[in-house]
Amino acid sequence: MKVIHTEADWNKYWLDCIKTDKNIGLVPTMGALHQGHLDLVRQAKSSTDIVIASIFVNPTQFNNQEDFDNYPITLEQDLEKLEKEKVDYVFVPDTDTMYPSQPKLSIDFGELERVLEGAFRPGHFNGVGIIVAKLFNIIRPHKAFFGQKDLQQTGIIKRLVSDLSIPVQLEIVPTRREKDGLAMSSRNVRLSQEERQASLLLYSSLTKAKEELLAKQPWLKVQQQIHRDFEQAPLAKLEYFELIHPESFEGYSEFDLKQKSSICVAAYIGNVRLIDNLPIIP
């Protein structure tokens, strides 16, 4: 496994890949790797010839400085995990490499970014769009791999690729969960033992709502009950719990078995913000 830090370093290896007609798979990460990230790596290894993972905590997608400052940095352990998975290359740029100057460009994803995460994290998806576009332009992968846990982010990246005609194929990998259902996230390590137990409310709410909807309970009634459940949980503060179309992210006021649908949730557990989602009708 080779660790590289600059675009110039990668260009040498990229030329070798192209000369030998090898397909390149990119797994973009912000580090603090868990099994969900490694699922992406394994999917990349099974469907491409050369796998490159990137590790970069992108400052432009954080609308909360405290969240950025507290984001876990575990580079040594991350590299060990990637080497065990037999990743070919790891791109670990510093901020000056990715942002030699402050970006002047702004990307507006329209209504797709004005709901859910976009509504609560203004500027977040602009930062996501810029860094993903940079990585696609630097690495020039044939395929890129993202997790379903960040459902709205995958929608944003699909729009980016489609609207800018970026020649990369996206593969979305199902959410990896702990045995008790909690979606794996780099932020989970910041939870205290008590908060970790409280965090189970996210997944239990999703599964409870899905069961109620499939039992033909009205969505608004289900949603109101979930809000009450969170209000009774002292360590949890709900931001949103919405039934949406998983591609347009348009919100539904009623559930229809004939329409694609997913439920998305975001909540603070203590000072840690977590998100999750669950498909109802894929």
pLDDT digits (tens, 9 = 90+) for 102-113: 999 999 999 999
Q: Does 37 qualify as catalytic in the annotation?
A: yes
SS3 percent helix, strand, coil of the chain, rounded to 5, is 45, 20, 35
- HEC profile of 102-155: CCCCCCCCHHHHCCCHHHHCCCHHHHHHHHHHHHHHHHCCCEEEEEHHHHHHHH
Domains identified in the chain, total number: 2
Average pLDDT, the chain: 97
Same domain for 254 and 120: no
Please list the residues that pair with 241 across neighbouring strands.
265
Q: Percentage of the chain surpassing pLDDT 90? A: 98
CATH of the domain at 234: 3.30.1300.10
How many Cβ atoms sit within 10 Å of the Cβ of residue 19?
A: 8
- The mean per-residue pLDDT over the stretch 90-96 comes to 97
Same domain for 191 and 143: no
CA distances for 94 relative to 44, 58, 127, 130, 132, angstroms: 24, 10, 16, 16, 15
Same domain for 87 and 19: yes
180 domain residue, yes or no = no
123 is in an annotated binding site: no
Please tell me whether residue 52 adopts helix, strand or coil conformation: strand
Provide the whole-model pTM. Answer: 0.96
**Structural domain boundaries, residue 153:** 2-173
The string of pLDDT tens digits covering residues 34-71 is 999 999 999 999 999 999 999 999 999 998 898 999 99
The packing angle between helices 7-19 and 124-139, to 10°, is 50
Same domain for 83 and 41: yes
86 is in an annotated binding site: no
110 is in an annotated binding site: no
